[in-house]
């Protein structure tokens, strides 16, 4: 079938490529002409594992192409996915829906035939009726335009897998057994036939799905990091404790990763947006736990700065500190709310000379934080370092032989903020090793 994807950032570009992979004819639409040109060349304007190869394959055949024209998109198909970004409002917790509603308003008057508008963007609960009302106000065929909700659950660096082989498929509609449901079932027929659990529900439940999932994951991460604080004070090992808890089937080990905490463009934004919407609905007391989840997460960054100060005898001024990691997680170039860069920036402001290295995110980091120093090679980056901080768990870093590094440093000291370095191996190589939540 033919379909469009409105908004071709991280979510939209990935969804467009994966829909082409499923055999559909896809037109991606984005108002940024430079982004459209890059995508039409078969490349993504960001790093996501295997996405460039998929884009190149399907743009070459013509099954996938991109445009900056709403009119062309509206005329191309009768199924339109909206994947426009909804960032956090500056200085507030709530989502900024400016670009999202702008996309709806620009698409609506150009829809001439019966159509389904399926929203993938993460928004506060209660947005679906507003989308319906805008479409009914501006679309010439308003009585034949249905709104569906299809939340995404993408993990950066696993986005293709999560789109083509999701843990679950959520479809939200205003009424039961609507035409929109038939259209989306046809779109996702290969995914559904593969056995993917498919939950058909109402708009509000579908809207809450993504925010609720991210809030629970954030809570799980912050819980084990709160326990890590107790472990540091008592001499216990948070890694082993997480394994012990994880063997309980009611708890599970996945997602419970002690360390520096979470960042990126989803978890921090979504728990804050969830809290903001709960307040608007008058049920903010129900989500007070998320305030502490956010506070614990931010406290991990302060704890890393405190550990660095301790390792340098209380004096950061003029010290050479190397930071392994700029991306908020491995296998991406995304630096949004990066814990690693937050720590690096804080150390710089306290007088340290900070050098950052990362396999993918250095260009983005240089633009956002030009005050820091950057080196491409993680081995060269430790030259004359007084302290090494391991803050993004790229597998490349764990595979580096610490014996090769020790002689390059001024003093072989490392703090493992992600718990993935082999502490015994590093100590055998002459390093002083500290790790969050471990003796």
Q: What spatial distance separates the first Cα and last Cα of the chain, rounded to whole Å?
A: 57
Asked if 18 is an active-site residue, the reply is no
User: Quick one: tokens of 177?
Assistant: 């057994």
Sheet arrangement for strand 25-29 = 64-67, 25-29, 2-6, 79-82, 115-119, 145-149, 169-173, 198-202
The span from the CA of 327 to the CA of 41, in Å, is: 25
Do residues 118 and 82 lie in contact, with contact meaning Cβ atoms separated by under 8 Å?
yes
The predicted pLDDT at position 142 comes to 58
Whether residue 94 has pLDDT greater than 90? yes
Give every CB contact of residue 276 below 8 A, 6+ residues apart in sequence: 92, 93, 94, 95, 124
The mean per-residue pLDDT over the stretch 120-133 comes to: 96
The span from the CA of 167 to the CA of 177, in Å, is: 23
Residue 148 DSSP SS3: strand
Q: pTM of the prediction?
A: 0.91
Beta strand 169-173 with 145-149 is antiparallel
Determine the Cα angle at 161 with ends 191 and 170, to 5°.
Answer: 45
143: confidence class by pLDDT, cuts 50, 70, 90: low
The span from the CA of 343 to the CA of 302, in Å, is: 8
The predicted pLDDT at position 175 comes to 87
Do residues 117 and 98 lie in contact, with contact meaning Cβ atoms separated by under 8 Å?
no
Residue-wise pLDDT tens digits, 175-221: 887 899 999 999 999 999 999 999 999 999 999 999 999 999 999 99
Do residues 107 and 143 lie in contact, with contact meaning Cβ atoms separated by under 8 Å?
no
Within 10 A of 375 (CB to CB), how many other CB atoms are there? 16
The predicted pLDDT at position 192 comes to 98
Do residues 171 and 199 lie in contact, with contact meaning Cβ atoms separated by under 8 Å?
yes
58 or 141, higher pLDDT = 58
The predicted pLDDT at position 287 comes to 87
Nearest to 268 by CA among 97, 88, 417, 393: 88
Where in 43-197 does DSSP place strands (E)? 64-67, 79-82, 115-119, 145-149, 169-173
Residue-wise pLDDT tens digits, 254-297: 889 899 999 999 999 999 999 999 999 999 888 899 999 999 99
- Placement of tokens 């996405």 in the chain: 51
Residue-wise pLDDT tens digits, 329-362: 999 999 999 999 999 999 999 999 999 999 999 9
Give phi and psi for 169, each to the nearest 5. Answer: -120, 120
The predicted pLDDT at position 438 comes to 86
The span from the CA of 235 to the CA of 151, in Å, is: 42
The predicted pLDDT at position 241 comes to 95
Angle between helices 51-61 and 33-40 (to 10 degrees): 80
The mean per-residue pLDDT over the stretch 164-181 comes to: 93
- As a residue count, the chain comes to 439
66: confidence class by pLDDT, cuts 50, 70, 90: very high
141: confidence class by pLDDT, cuts 50, 70, 90: low
- As separate numbers, helices (DSSP H) first and strands (DSSP E) second, the chain gives 18, 14
Residue-wise pLDDT tens digits, 30-41: 999 999 999 999
The mean per-residue pLDDT over the stretch 132-141 comes to: 87
Residue-wise pLDDT tens digits, 390-410: 999 999 999 999 999 999 999
The mean per-residue pLDDT over the stretch 367-371 comes to: 97
């Amino acid at each position: 079938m033919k379909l469009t994807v409105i908004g071709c950032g991280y979510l939209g570009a990935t969804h467009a490529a994966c829909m082409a992979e499923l055999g559909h004819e896809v037109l991606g639409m984005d108002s940024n002409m430079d982004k459209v040109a890059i995508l039409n060349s078969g490349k993504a304007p960001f790093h996501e594992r295997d996405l460039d190869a998929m884009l190149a394959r399907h743009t070459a055949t013509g099954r996938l192409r991109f445009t900056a024209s709403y009119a062309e998109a509206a005329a191309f198909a009768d199924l339109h996915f909206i994947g426009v970004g909804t960032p956090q409002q500056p200085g507030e917790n709530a989502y900024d829906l400016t670009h999202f509603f702008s996309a709806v308003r620009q698409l609506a008057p150009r829809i001439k035939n019966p159509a389904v508008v399926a929203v993938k963007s993460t928004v506060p609960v209660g947005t679906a009726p507003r989308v319906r009302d805008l479409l009914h106000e501006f679309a010439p065929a308003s009585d034949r335009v249905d709104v569906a909700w299809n939340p995404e659950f993408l993990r950066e660096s696993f986005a293709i897998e999560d789109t083509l082989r999701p843990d679950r498929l959520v479809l939200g509609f205003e009424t039961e057994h609507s035409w929109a449901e038939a259209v989306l079932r046809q779109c996702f027929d290969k995914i559904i036939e593969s056995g993917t659990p498919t939950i058909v529900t109402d708009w509000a439940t579908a809207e809450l799905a993504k925010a609720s999932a991210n809030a629970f994951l954030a809570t799980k991460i912050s819980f084990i990091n709160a326990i890590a604080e107790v472990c540091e004070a008592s001499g216990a090992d948070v890694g082993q404790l997480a394994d012990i808890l994880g063997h309980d089937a009611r708890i599970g080990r996945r997602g419970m990763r002690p360390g520096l905490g979470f960042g990126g463009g989803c978890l921090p934004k979504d728990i804050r947006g969830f809290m903001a919407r709960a307040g608007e609905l008058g049920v903010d007391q129900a989500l007070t736990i998320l305030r502490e989840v956010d506070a614990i997460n931010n406290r991990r960054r302060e704890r890393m700065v405190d550990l660095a100060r301790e390792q340098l005898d209380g004096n950061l001024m003029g010290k050479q500190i190397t930071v392994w990691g700029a991306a908020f997680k491995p296998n991406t170039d995304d630096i949004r709310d990066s814990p690693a860069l937050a720590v690096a920036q804080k150390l710089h402001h306290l007088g340290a000379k900070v050098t950052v290295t990362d396999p993918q995110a250095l260009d983005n980091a240089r633009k956002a934080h030009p005050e820091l120093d950057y080196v491409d090679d993680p081995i060269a980056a430790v030259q004359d370092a007084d302290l090494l901080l391991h803050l993004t768990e790229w597998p490349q870093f764990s595979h580096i032989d610490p014996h090769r590094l020790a002689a390059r440093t001024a003093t072989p000291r490392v703090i493992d903020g992600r718990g993935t370095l082999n502490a015994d191996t590093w100590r055998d190589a002459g390093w002083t090793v500290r790790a969050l939540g471990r003796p």
